[in-house]
Chain A
């Protein structure tokens, strides 16, 4: 069979997942309605911007790898009436996997995490991550104490996972097992201060 990634940096790479990351993330986010989104760096941010556009209610990372989930927790505690969704990748989450335990203990009812797991570090050249070599982040989320956890491998499992993210009465975690590929880059403003001010303006009415 021809390599679907031929001509890209992901050429020759394979993962156990086969979902299209852009389609899967958009399907889940479209089910959530009015939410605040924290998008982890690199591929995850691209998936979010592709799904919802360059929206003021998205704070996207360009660095500080490992901080997306903890930032989502602080935001969820500050805005208990709003739903907060963190979208992050397997590489970023592995960097600070203890945050899953911190989130489980705080257990905010309005926080959901989507981990887009392509089993590779796409940004640095598609090196394998631990999740392609036996590490299961959904088991780690469960072991951390998060009560609502789903692993999604098939398109027809997305509806149930999206429903759980929307209605869970405690922290929720969805592991999306996606194919490895290199979707088109989504360009956004790099200035994090500009994004912060725009986000606060939209949410709070002042920067």
Chain B
């Protein structure tokens, strides 16, 4: 996978003042995770489950910081009830989601959550911006940052398997 667009993404997130990177280990987000671990200016927080990231980011906002949750589409299902906090409190929320169960997926176990990811997020009032083309990464993440932190709304950027490539089985 290219490291060019992930590096652009990292730069945009940092320029927007994000200094809490919450993640569950994931191949699709490897560059962003590694960059955040190596960056002494940010908190890189390994989670045991994605829903911790929802609480963490709301806490960051309460304290005047900004965070992003890096997760796989399967993790979206783990977050649903805690998104009540985001909606009831009108917290800003930004997540980057590496898609599975998407274009060219070879593991049928990934299909149910992958195909449900966007409808489930939209049912929870999370705005979804999908990227399949590397040329769209920068402007989509910039748009997501504006919606999340200027409008203080929940936004998910879905990184499709056309962009990431499908894992081989």
State yes or no: do A and B come from one complex. yes
Chain A residues close to B by CB (< 8 Å): 36, 38, 59, 61-79, 82, 96, 98-99, 101-102, 105-106, 191-193, 195-196, 199-200, 203-204
**Which range holds the interface residue count of chain B?**
20 to 34
- Asked whether, in the complex, the Cβ of A74 is within 8 Å of the Cβ of B64, the reply is no
Q: Does B49 contact A (CB under 8 A)?
A: yes
- Asked whether, in the complex, the Cβ of A192 is within 8 Å of the Cβ of B88, the reply is yes
Known: A64-B81, A70-B53, A196-B91. A78 touches B46 (CB 8 A): no
Per DSSP, chain A at the interface is helix
In chain B between 37 and 77, which residues have their CB closer than 8 angstroms to a CB of chain A? Answer: 43, 45-49, 51-65, 67
In the complex, which of the residues A38, A65, A102 contacts B46, with contact meaning CB atoms closer than 8 Å? Answer: A102
- Asked whether, in the complex, the Cβ of A64 is within 8 Å of the Cβ of B82, the reply is yes
In the complex, which of the residues B52, B62, B81, B90 contacts A98, with contact meaning CB atoms closer than 8 Å? Answer: B52
Counting chain B CB atoms within 10 Å of each CB, which of A64, A193, A195 scores highest?
A64
In the complex, which of the residues B43, B67, B85 contacts A64, with contact meaning CB atoms closer than 8 Å? Answer: B85
Measured CA separation A96–B50 after assembly (Å): 11
Other than A77-B63, A98-B49, give 12 A-B pairs with Cβ distance below 8 A: A64-B84, A64-B88, A71-B56, A71-B62, A71-B85, A74-B56, A74-B67, A76-B59, A78-B59, A102-B45, A105-B46, A203-B64
Residues of A with C-beta under 8 A to B108: none
Counting chain B CB atoms within 10 Å of each CB, which of A70, A191, A193 scores highest?
A70
Q: For residue B89, which residue of chain A has the nearest CB?
A: A192
In the complex, which of the residues A70, A78, A101 contacts B64, with contact meaning CB atoms closer than 8 Å? Answer: A78
Known: A63-B88, A78-B20, A101-B48. A69 touches B63 (CB 8 A): no
- Asked whether, in the complex, the Cβ of B58 is within 8 Å of the Cβ of A71, the reply is yes
- Asked whether, in the complex, the Cβ of B55 is within 8 Å of the Cβ of A70, the reply is yes
Instruction: Fill in one digit per residue for B85-106: 1 if any A CB lies within 8 Å of its CB, else 0.
Output: 1001111000000000000000
Q: How far is the CB of A10 from chain B (nearest CB, A)?
A: 26
Residues of A with C-beta under 8 A to B58: 67, 71, 74
Q: For residue B52, which residue of chain A has the nearest CB?
A: A70
Q: List 7 A-B contacts (CB under 8 A).
A: A70-B51, A78-B62, A98-B49, A99-B55, A102-B45, A102-B48, A196-B61
- Asked whether, in the complex, the Cβ of A70 is within 8 Å of the Cβ of B84, the reply is no
- Asked whether, in the complex, the Cβ of B49 is within 8 Å of the Cβ of A200, the reply is no
Residues of B with C-beta under 8 A to A99: 48, 52, 55
Instruction: Fill in one digit per residue for B122-156: 1 if any A CB lies within 8 Å of its CB, else 0.
Output: 00000000000000000000000000000000000
- Asked whether, in the complex, the Cβ of B43 is within 8 Å of the Cβ of A106, the reply is yes
Q: How far is the CB of A70 from chain B (nearest CB, A)?
A: 3
Measured CA separation A60–B59 after assembly (Å): 12
Q: How far is the CB of A184 from chain B (nearest CB, A)?
A: 25
Residues of A with C-beta under 8 A to B63: 36, 74-79, 82, 203
